Chains A and B, each alone.
Chain A
Amino acid sequence: DQQVKQNSPSLSVQEGRISILNCDYTNSMFDYFLWYKKYPAEGPTFLISISSIKDKNEDGRFTVFLNKSAKHLSLHIVPSQPGDSAVYFCAAYNQAGTALIFGKGTTLSVSS
């Protein structure tokens, strides 16, 4: 059973528009969440994170929102650029804080 779910396998957006990637989790004890970006033939690279004591974290064009009551987080990319085309993974630390639990990823395609 998946504890971190990314229900949209893919998302297509036009350059300049907003990209919204969604993630749901099942374990209310998760308290730290990260987003990773992965290009083909490369390892995942860290993008942005959020602690459960916050509901928003912003870094340039990237903002992560956390809704604890709904066990939902989202990544907003504004404005989207063609170079943002990649697979985006949502991940949460387990209760012990020792292991990252990943979602299956969402493939974002930004067209110019």
Chain B
Amino acid sequence: AQSVTQLDSQVPVFEEAPVELRCNYSSSVSVYLFWYVQYPNQGLQLLLKYLSGSTLVESINGFEAEFNKSQTSFHLRKPSVHISDTAEYFCAVSNQGGKLIFGQGTELSVKP
């Protein structure tokens, strides 16, 4: 069975510091991987996704994630965060069978 584990429930950082939000998954088959972001009082929005090809994927606002098959990880990184990045981030995994499983979420809190 598939599962997703986000290793940190809360990550506090100072503005302009780098950040890494960790995500590990378990699956016996090929997977697709996603990061969604939820800003306060809003629904989730797709941040980036890996379906195939290059293992490094980027978002338009400076986040990137790398698919590491050997470590079954899809960590999200940003070299310098802004106050506006404060949100909850969800990692999600699916296989070609159609099930999409969300992790528990990581609250990123960026402080001035």
- Determine if chain A interacts with chain B: no
